[in-house]
Amino acid sequence: MEAILVSRQIPVWQDRRAIALLMAASLTTMANATIAPALPGLERLFADDPNAALLTRLLVPAPSLAVAICAPLAGLAADRIGRRRLLLVGVVLFVISGCAGLLLPDLPTIFASRLVLGVAVALIMTAQTALIGDYFSGDDRNALTGLQISARNLGGLVFILTAGWVATISPRLPFAIYGLAAAFLPLMWLVIVDPPRLSPATGATPLGESDDRQPWRMLFTLLVLLQGVTNMIFFVMPTQLSFFLDAQGYDSAIMTGSALGVLMLSGGGFALLYPRIQRAVGFAGIFALGYGAMALGFLLLVTASAIPAIFAAVAAIGAGYALVSPSFVALALNLAPTRKRGLAGGILTASIFIGQFCSPLLSTPLIAGYGYASLFGGTAALLATMAAIAALAGGTVRLRRQ
């Protein structure tokens, strides 16, 4: 393992293992959103089903529910049977279950295939997160966590645009996009290997690490909770933005697609800057900047009365989320003992999707009771408070060091 973590003469993004892991990261956004443009067509295609309206709307969040349930179990499996096997099985299952909608005869079986797709995503994300910790350290690890968010955003943008185009031909065609994951398998097969420390014959914890370091468990729990809350806040955008724009009198389909495109482009761009910014301001500083940008974005939505202001708001939210998200992975991998990285990756993955799943359950009643302005204003106040706490924590750490 020490050989895996040695300094390299090439940038991390040129490492073939990093490229393979970024390919895996791009699949996670594809899982949920790719079929979104096809939902109206699928509802018409299966109009004979009395539950068509409900089932078509459940096709998008179905993988999230499966991921939230299965990811911790996948983490345990990653620590016991190895990351490589979990990743490869996950990608194969991803291709099969993702493409199944091309041929399955009805909505209930397509819905079941979406749940299986969530299991595949749980395997992929858990193994990928653990492998980042196994293969890279220090600045390389931080850089790769930022590139991971860029891969998710930019990959998601490409997949959604492609799905929107092919859905005009047939509502089943977007399911074929999941087959693209098969093209990633050869590189993954060649370059992804389990580190020696995962060998079942190795009973001792390597490099003098102890699994019984109590502080890491408490800090990791706080990190998981914070990530869940962050994703719950961020997921207000894809779940409520179209309804907000419709209430404002815009063509919600066109504006929502454009706004989410701006959100992904902004997130992808700022995630590329994450390593440089993190080195300059530290983790506390990155949380202060990220939550501050998200607070500004939600505040702008409260007062936005023109399209440029709305685009500026979603760009700020996307940028802020892209800055804080890599830090959860980087900090978790720094905290968790080596032999627990699979479990840590699984729990982190589950917290993302639990946050996403809970977001509309909490935001929809708030909107019904108090309106969009109150939801966005309250969210901005919460994020500003989180940014202030992060800035205060960073200042306290600097004073102690002096």
Q: Which residues have CB under 8 Å from 391's CB, separation 6+?
A: 284, 285, 288
CA 369/CA 378 separation, integer angstroms: 13
CA 151/CA 342 separation, integer angstroms: 21
Helix (H, G, I), strand (E, B) or coil at 10: coil
pLDDT, position 232: 92
Would you say how long the chain is, in residues? 402
CA 50/CA 108 separation, integer angstroms: 11
Tokens of 279: 């080195």
From the list 356, 352, 321, 360, the residue with the least C-alpha distance to 72 is 352
CA 52/CA 43 separation, integer angstroms: 6
CA 273/CA 282 separation, integer angstroms: 13
pLDDT, position 275: 83
Q: Domain 12-193: which topology?
A: Growth Hormone; Chain: A; (1.20.1250)
Q: Domain 213-402: which topology?
A: Growth Hormone; Chain: A; (1.20.1250)
CA 8/CA 15 separation, integer angstroms: 9
Q: Which residues have CB under 8 Å from 212's CB, separation 6+?
A: none
pLDDT, position 7: 44
pTM of whole model > 0.85? no
Instruction: For the chain of 402 residues, list the mean pLDDT of each consecutive stretch of 10.
Output: 46 80 84 75 86 80 85 85 90 95 92 93 89 82 80 78 81 90 93 69 42 69 92 86 78 70 85 86 92 96 87 94 89 81 83 85 88 94 95 66 52
Q: Are 93 and 31 in contact (CB under 8 A)?
A: no
pLDDT, position 146: 79
DSSP for 4-53, please give it: TTS--SS-GGG-HHHHHHHHHHHHHHHHHHTTGGGHHHHHHHTTTSTTHH
Domain layout of the chain by residue ranges: 12-193, 213-402
Each residue of 374-401: b (16+ CB within 10 Å) or e? ebbbebbebbbebbeebbebbeeeeeee
Angle CA(350)–CA(355)–CA(358) in degrees, nearest 5?
A: 120
Q: Which residues have CB under 8 Å from 360's CB, separation 6+?
A: 235, 239, 240
pLDDT, position 12: 67
* Torsion over CA: 138, 139, 143, 144 (sign): negative
Each residue of 158-175: b (16+ CB within 10 Å) or e? bbbebbeebbeeebbbbb
12-193 shares its CATH topology with 213-402: yes
